[in-house]
Amino acid sequence: MSSIRSAPAVVVGIDGSRAATHAALWAVDEAISRDIPLRLVYVIDPLQTSGVPDGGHTVARAALSDAQRAIDAIGKPVKIETEVLWGRPLTKLMQESRSAAMICVGSVGLNHARRIGGTVATGLAGAALCPVAVIHRPVRAAASPEVGAVVAGVDNGVVLRHAFEEARLRGVPLRTIGDGSGLAEAQLNRRLARWTRLYPDVPIEPCGAAVADSGQLFVTDSRTVRDLRGAHGVGCSMLAVPCGNL
């Protein structure tokens, strides 16, 4: 299954798992807000399809169709593109990050495709050339994923910009994490003052040091992701901003 590629797009890694479909549903608003396509990509790993009839293409096409039907069911006006790629999932999705506006993957799923030091999601979030959203799927997931709050995990301007944009898009408050020191708090407050002028409609709430609420979106930088024990280790959805953009 393949369609003409438009660039840029919001790319979603599809692997047939519910987590991947959940990530695709979450990504719909990202594509609509940018007025660009939602690109669903299934990567066939040759190391996983030895002896599989037709090289796994039937499974890939079925997974993409299932994800597209789930998106169509929520009735939002998003243009969908689909494509089956051949290669290692991490390698192919890294290539997609060169032109994508964002890549979205589930916090589980794609885990069968390992790299040294972590999963595909971890590798992407730590090294992709575009922002990467790793979406946590609650046990009782709604048909359309909801975000209860956005948490900014690093006190730099680019991370805060992405955090404010996500909070505005999702219509939720922004929570900031500081280290408790007076100097750090003063720096964070100065940065917040600038962004609150640009995003006056986004409410700001204090947040503790821990981020574990599955309904939150944790926005951080890719350097921080490399220190995490797996891309889903924070217990909530995460948006990683490339260090090169900082």
Average predicted confidence (pLDDT) for the chain: 82
Asked if residue 63 lies in contact with residue 14, where contact means CB atoms within 8 angstroms, the answer is yes
Residue 69 falls within a domain, yes or no?
yes
Same domain, yes or no: 90 and 169: no
For residues 112 and 115, give the distance between their C-alpha atoms in angstroms, rounded to a whole number.
10
Phi, psi of 127, rounded to the nearest 5 degrees = -140, -5
By residue range, what is the domain housing residue 106? 9-135
For residues 57 and 61, give the distance between their C-alpha atoms in angstroms, rounded to a whole number.
6
For residues 124 and 228, give the distance between their C-alpha atoms in angstroms, rounded to a whole number.
13
**Angle, nearest 10°, between helix axes 57-73 and 18-34?**
60
Residue 142 falls within a domain, yes or no?
no
* Percent of the chain surpassing pLDDT 70: 75
Q: What was the pLDDT predicted at 169?
A: 95
| CATH value at residue 61 | 3.40.50.620
Average of pLDDT values for 176-203?
Answer: 80
Residue 1 falls within a domain, yes or no?
no
Residue 3 falls within a domain, yes or no?
no
pLDDT class of 1 with cuts at 50, 70, 90: very low
Buried b (16+ CB within 10 A) or exposed e, 74-87: eeeebebbbbbbee
Average of pLDDT values for 85-111?
Answer: 87
Q: What's at 36, amino acid-wise?
A: I
Q: Of 135, 162, 191, which residue constitutes the final position of a domain? A: 135
Q: How many folded domains does the chain comprise?
A: 2
Q: What was the pLDDT predicted at 206?
A: 73
For residues 188 and 152, give the distance between their C-alpha atoms in angstroms, rounded to a whole number.
11
Location of structure tokens 């096409």 = 61
Q: Which two tokens stand for residue 168?
A: 């505005």
8, 98, 120, 209, 230 from 123: Cα distances, Å:
21, 15, 5, 25, 9
Average of pLDDT values for 74-85?
Answer: 95
Residue 140 falls within a domain, yes or no?
no
Location of structure tokens 């169509």 = 72
Phi, psi of 33, rounded to the nearest 5 degrees = -65, -25
pTM of the model: 0.85
What DSSP character marks residue 242? P
Q: What was the pLDDT predicted at 36?
A: 97
Buried b (16+ CB within 10 A) or exposed e, 165-204: bbbbbbebebbbbbeeeeeeeeebeebbeebbeebeebeb
Buried b (16+ CB within 10 A) or exposed e, 105-139: bbbbbbbebeeeebbbbbbbbbbbbbbbbbbbbee
Q: Of 85, 101, 135, which residue constitutes the final position of a domain? A: 135
pLDDT in tens, 15-62: 999 989 999 999 999 999 999 999 999 999 887 776 667 778 899 999
Same domain, yes or no: 178 and 100: no
Same domain, yes or no: 113 and 153: no
Q: At CB < 8 A and 24+ separation, what contacts does 30-35 make? A: 30/101, 30/102, 30/104, 30/133, 30/169, 31/78, 31/79, 32/76, 32/77, 32/78, 33/169, 34/8, 34/10, 34/101
Residue 144 falls within a domain, yes or no?
no
